[in-house]
Structure 1
Amino acid sequence: LGQTTREQPTIIWLSSQAGAEDIYLPITVNPITGLATIGEFTTTAPANGSADETMFSSDIGTSFMIRLPFVRYNPIGIDIGSKSIKMVQFTKNYDAIQEAAIVDLPPELSPESDFEGYLHGLGQTLQRSRVGRHFRGNDAIVCVHQRDLFLHNIRVGKSDPKALSNIVHQEAADRIPYSMLDAEIRFIESEDIRQGDQLLREVIIMACFRPRLEALLETIEKSGFRPASVDVEPMAVLRSFTSQYRREADEEDRVLYVHVGYTNTVVIIAQGNQILFVKYIDV
């Protein structure tokens, strides 16, 4: 490409994908010296060209488009437990496990007495968890630990969804041990319960302390992961089983799930993918 009689540069465009967007990287080759200059990533396609063309002309010279294959990896599931971190990643079609690992946390870590020290040790453990293993990509789904999850059942009168949301938040304000301004709240409608002459709706409230959650996600991000979503243990346990259902009859059965942990056990009763009851029992 160097030492030619050409006066205009040659531009090689590398094209791939980042999420749902096409991205482009120009490499400009000087026609006299043959030296290449790498430009900046852009989401704007080059003028007079597209990702489907391999060669096209522009005002500044001849351009080539090289389409790089895009590989999307499934997210890495990260479950931060009391004594260890569990990680798992499935292959593209979810038909096999790409990689799985259990890494012990330093025994001296205590999020209750020294949260900053805990985050520091957690970050180091997360970085160590990928060494020598075959995890691919950086996207991660993080499971909130039980100690950071406020769980409470209430019974409210049946109403439209908007009114129900307001009622749940009012009830939660009297029970959550921190300000509602710092609370991240979700709730699950269970089933109708008859209490005396009233027909009430059982609602499961799940909440966490937002500043603590944000600090945790920041630590995970600094460790080289990209948190894509946050899950809670009861829902994660339920989905791991219901995703295997193949018959309609399975959706109608009521099932008791017991997930035994190091410091506590979570008990879930569900019908299909609908949680009816959830409770943590200390070991």
Structure 2
Amino acid sequence: MEIQAKKKFGQNFISDENLINKIIATLGNNQDQLIIEIGPGTGALTKKLVEKFSKVIAIEIDSDMEPILKNKIQNDNFIFFLSDVLEVDFEELIKSYRTSPQQKVSIISNMPYYITSEILFKTFKLHSYLEKAVFMMQKEVAVRVCANKGENNYNNLSIAAEFFADKKYEFTVSKGMFRPIPKVDSAIISLTFKNEKNDLVKDNEKFIAFVRKLFNNKRKTILNNLSMLTNDKEQANKLLDEVMLNKNLRPEAIGIDDFIKLYNAYSK
């Protein structure tokens, strides 16, 4: 019996074995990993993950998938949670199931498109625990996440991803590979967490919020956006002078290192 995808959960199922193997390969060859899969659906990807890695935790919101997954996958290294991913305490989950503090942890998901940003930012908060995240998302969003300074799609999401990880656009996935067929193509991206820049700011979350506000109006200069944030154009001028940043630049023309310098000057 064919399982019907539910639109309210943003479900689109993949079954092509070559594609599944290609996605899993992006997680690397370290088999002693704790893998957390978000939205396993009918388990086509999950089954392969369980065969390769030492422990796999699957988090699924759709109760109809529970008997399907538990029937299909009965391995001892498979753990199933019926839950809304946005309500899961990932930190507690990792601490409970990781075999040691040194064990690598990676997240993988064919992301429900309607909560892509929420899952991304939830993942960023876990950066110190994670080795890697492999996400399938709408191609348009994937291009945005992986964009670099000066590119049209570069925005606060691009900077957040770069702040926490080495980001990579892996490959495009045609919409024809899914059932039901969505309206747009998807893409696989990988985030390899490096935690190099996190010590450069006082508060990671406040830094990301600061950058987001500076992208509120991409058509305005950094001076105008910063003036709106500070409610004081004179102060904005002084801050930009302090970090020697061209006041006429637009946010998309500014790299992450300059945003870090500007935030540190602003938050003193």
TM bucket, shorter chain: under 0.3
Higher helix share: 2
With a CA cutoff of 8 Å and minimum separation of 6, indicate the structure with the bigger relative contact order. Answer: 2
| TM-score after normalising by structure 1 | 0.24
**Which structure has greater strand proportion?**
1
